[in-house]
Amino acid sequence: TKYGWSKAPHQRETAMVVGSVSLAPPLPSLIVFDLDFTLWQRPRFRKGPPFEPIDGGAAGVRDAGGATLYLYPAAKRALVCLADAGVPVAVASRTHREGWARQWLEMLTVDDAGRTVQDVIDPLPVLVQDGPKSGHLQRISEMSGVPLSKMLFFDDDLAGKRTLIRRSGPHS
């Protein structure tokens, strides 16, 4: 496909075991994550940049005022598991702080090897911008070549997910 993975995860015929987690087919062709309250808590930065990784990004990111942002432990494990299994991951998030979010994705590490969130997502789309999530997912579909019906979308906003599913078709 356009992004270089050789075989769509849902086409794999055998279960994959990554660490202690087993992924059994059929798997989605693409998994899309929201950021706030899905991969990390909502940032409460008052000072903003410059941002500094804590413990190489493993323990989070600190802003100029000392406030911290960290990945949820389960989110770290999920991202590592998906990356190691070759399951493509993208990001769709609604925010007016796109530049900050992109910096955090590049600083926060998910494993002892030092891979960042951006490393496990790349080369797939990261859409961090204002506007409805339905538009984000439609754009990700266009950029990745993966139909909405073959995506799995994780978001903490239940009402928004219901509207999105009725309109666009990703699984949630």
Catalytic residues: 34, 36
Task: Give buried/exposed letters for 91-127 (b at 16+ CB in 10 A, else e).
Answer: bbbbeeeeebbebbbbbbbbbeeebbbbbbbeebbbb
Q: For 35, which DSSP code?
A: S
Torsion of CA 22, 27, 29, 32, to 10 degrees: -60
* DSSP symbols for 50-68: SPEEEGGGTSEEE-TTS-E
